[in-house]
Each structure stands twice: as structure tokens, then as C-alpha cells.
Amino acid sequence: MRDAREIILKPIISEKSYDLIELNKYTFKVDRKATKPQIRQAIEEIFNVEVEKVNTQNYKGKFKRQGVKSQGYRSDWKKAIVSLKAGHKIEIFEGAT
């Protein structure tokens, strides 16, 4: 089994994700190959909380250009929105609410 910190890459900090914190939902950038059960287990292991539900979204990399000759695509990535059971919080987002 893979390490939990290889699955959860980083939290996503944005206005929309801060609004979801009030609903006890937290947003993370995760490994593209990670499944919902793997994400659930990783969050529970890292933050010592109980996960109620996991929703995922896949994003295709955007086309980017720098000047005329240099162009390419950003990497594809995956986002997970994790709903926690009532009474559980993730401490790294504590300053958000």
C-alpha cells in the first residue's frame, strides 16, 4: 500500500474552498491515480478524523504559451472534496473559520 502522504499532495486554499469549510468539507489536491477509498483512508490516517464522504474531480491541464516558440500543457490533476462527520475538524484550516 502507498504512503498516505503520497496520496494527499496539498490542501487547496481558495475562497470557494473556505466557504466549504463552514459545511465541514475540506478540499485537497490528490494523486491522479488515487481512488476514493484510498483518499478516505489517507485523510483519516494523517489528520485523525472520521470521513463521511469523498467527492473527486479530474482536471485536464491548460494550454500555456510563453512567447512564440515555447508552448505546452500544464499537468493534469485531481481534486478531492472530503466531508467529515459532525464534530470533526482539520486543524490546518482552523484559521479559516
Taking a C-beta distance cutoff of 8 angstroms, is the pair 28, 42 a contact? no
Model pLDDT for residues 32-65, shown as the tens digit of each residue: 999 999 999 999 999 999 999 999 999 999 999 9
Task: Report the sign of the C-alpha dihedral through residues 59, 65, 66, 72, in that order.
Answer: positive
Q: Could you tell me what percent of the chain has a pLDDT over 70?
A: 94
pLDDT of residue 97: 52
Angstrom distance (rounded) from CA 68 to CA 50: 50
Mean pLDDT of 7-31: 95
Enter the pTM of the model.
0.88
Helical segments of the chain, H only = 4-7, 15-21, 36-47
CATH class of the domain defined by 4-86: alpha beta
* Higher per-residue pLDDT: 94 or 40: 40
The domain segmentation of the chain, as residue ranges, is: 4-86
